[in-house]
Amino acid sequence: AQCTAEERVTLRRLSGQPLQIQVKPGDAVARLVAKAQKILQAQVTLAHEGKLLNLDEPAAELAGKEVDLVVMPPSPRAVTGCEDGSIRYWDLESFSCLGSLEGHRGAVWALDADLPSRLALSGSADTSLILWDLERLESLRSFEGHSGAVCCVSADFQRKWAVSGSDDGTLRLWSFNQRSELLSLRCRHGTAWSISASCEDQAAVSGHEGGSVQVWNFQEGHDAMPHILEGRHQGLVQVVQA
């Protein structure tokens, strides 16, 4: 049966449409908070008439009323990869480990993450890449194709796209929607140890052993050849930002 206005609580936000949540006898404010957090995918708190509501307060008393909903900023997070093959997800506010992700059979040498969307992509000495859901602490998909250790990754998590470099001497493009690569390109000067890529521009800059820095245009497809920048470094290029 359709609930009446008196059986609902209206949660007002600073922006966006208010939320209408049905309440039942015996419900506590905690249920309203849980419902709102599920809808908004964020931590929230509720206030009424200028006072914060306790989670154990009865929600039925709020039926037919408007309650202020405040979205709490998420605590800062970090994700790390280790030579033991593990990936750990950290809360930087409480200085605690939220969970450990297991799946690689070798050292984790490369990692990229979109912390607001709780996603990460790792590359390992076991030649694989794994896409992770950090919220649920589980793998979403693995990617196979390299024949050597994965040394660097750069991902666009919104466009579900990534580039990886390996000591098999290749760069490979991936779609999160399939396990096999979209494109494989041979590097001219050995292993790519660092990379910065753009899905929107279909381009990348990679750093290599021996000091080489290479610029790629993926729109050229399998015929793509890198432009090698002049002014070579005197050692391995470990970091690239473009």
Q: What is the pLDDT of residues 102-141, one digit of tens each?
A: 999 999 999 999 988 889 999 999 999 999 999 899 999 9
Tens-place pLDDT, residues 72-92: 777 799 999 999 999 999 999
Per-residue model confidence (pLDDT) at position 119? 95
Q: Which of 5-9, 31-35, 183-187, 229-233 has the highest mean pLDDT?
A: 183-187
| Residues forming beta bridges with residue 110, ordered by sequence position | 123
Threshold 0.75, pTM exceeds:
no
Classify 114 as helix, strand or coil: strand
Phi, psi of 81, deg, nearest 5? -120, 150
For residues 14 and 85, the model is more confident at 85
The tokens describing 64, both together, are 């037919």
Classify 36 as helix, strand or coil: helix
Per-residue model confidence (pLDDT) at position 180? 87
Tens-place pLDDT, residues 159-207: 999 999 999 999 999 999 988 899 999 998 889 999 999 999 999 999 9
Per-residue model confidence (pLDDT) at position 6? 55
Per-residue model confidence (pLDDT) at position 211? 93
Tens-place pLDDT, residues 50-74: 899 999 999 988 988 999 998 877 7
Assign 5 a pLDDT band (cuts: 50, 70, 90): very low
Do residues 139 and 124 touch, judged by C-beta distance below 8 A? no
Per-residue model confidence (pLDDT) at position 37? 86
Per-residue model confidence (pLDDT) at position 2? 42
CA atoms within 13 A on the CB side of 109: 22
Q: How far is the C-alpha of 231 from the C-alpha of 202, rounded, in Å?
A: 24
User: Is the pLDDT assigned to residue 220 strictly greater than 80?
Assistant: yes
